[in-house]
Copies of this chain bind each other. A is one copy, B any other.
Amino acid sequence: MINKLVKKIEDLSAPIVVGLDPMLEYVPEHILQKAYREKGENIEGATEAIWQYNKGIIDATYDIIPAVKPQIAMYEQFGIEGLKVFKKTVDYCKEKDLVVIGDVKRGDIGSTSAAYATGHLGKVTIGGKYFRGFDEDFITVNPYLGSDGVKPFIDVCKEEQKGLFILVKTSNPSSGEFQDQLIEGKPLYELVGKKVAEWGELHMGSSYSYIGAVVGATYPEMGRILRRLMPKTYILVPGYGAQGGKAEDLVHYFNKDGLGAIVNSSRGIIAAYKMKGYEKFGPKAYADASRQAVIDMREDIKQAWVAAKR
């Protein structure tokens, strides 16, 4: 799956992942009202609206992006009905041949980590038949519990030829509270980064490991250091755009081969029609605004590369 991700990124010249993190307030009124008319002004109606909204964005962008990253929290907030739409979104994206990174940030120990891995990446066997839960291609994982929390995920990844992105340095303002603390003169995120590189050796693809890292766009200096520490690790970079990360900072997250990083944008793509510069699309053409925002983001990253090479 890492090989497929790398190939798609190369073919489309787009190291971009679209964060499918829908909020009810992003959904255009015409979609919301239609869903309420059909399913009622209730949890079924609201989650139907989110599904239709997602579908519009996927249909408008799937041919120019390699991957999507649905954030499960945005679905989980609506309980079971929300999680049904998460699953429907994962399945639909896979039909469209997109690589699906489930942003689930799970993490536990032993058999519990194994159970999460089974639910999101693997399968259960009942009466000799396989059943798959959410069936993403990659998921994000929290490393706080250490190796015996992470290894059960890697075991399932090996069986399924799937992968992980492990949190190393997150994009939020207070990520430094624990992650930047110095241990023998080096910040914790470097120690975690080294571990991710080690874990990565357990499950290598052809040029990069199936075990990736999450490093926020908002800390480019740290990105540069982590890039060097984890040469075979694909880095998933959140925080571009709405969170403040700029394209010129992103070059630090890539290797010289122009690969090694995939940049996430959520709100900036899926709610583009509400953003400065995209108002002309209006709510009815929200998906066209998302497509344009992907094209602009691709160009923004490309220009930053050109500038960096000068």
- Chain A interface (Cβ within 8 Å of chain B)? 21, 23-24, 36, 41-43, 45-46, 71, 73-74, 76-80, 82-84, 87, 105-113, 115-116, 118-120, 124, 126-127, 129, 131-134, 142-149, 167, 170-179, 181-184, 188, 191-192, 195
Contact = CB atoms under 8 A, between A and B. Distances in A.
A108 B109 contact: no
B177 A118 contact: no
A13 to B, nearest CB: 29
B84 A80 contact: yes
A83 B184 CA distance: 43
A119 B82 contact: yes
Nearest to A45: B126
A116 B73 contact: yes
Contact of A79 (B109, B129, B132): B132
A175 B144 CA distance: 8
B173 A148 contact: yes
Nearest to A144: B144
A209 B134 CA distance: 36
B177 A146 contact: yes
B149 A178 contact: no
A149 B115 CA distance: 24
Given A78-B124, A79-B87, A124-B78, A191 B178 contact: yes
Given A80-B83, A106-B105, A145-B172, A127 B73 contact: no
Nearest to A184: B182
Given A144-B143, A146-B175, A170 B133 contact: no
6 contacts: A24-B124, A41-B126, A43-B124, A73-B113, A76-B133, A182-B184
A143 B173 CA distance: 14
B148 A172 contact: yes
Contact of A181 (B119, B126, B183): B183
Contact of A172 (B77, B146, B177, B183): B146
Contacts of A83: 80, 83
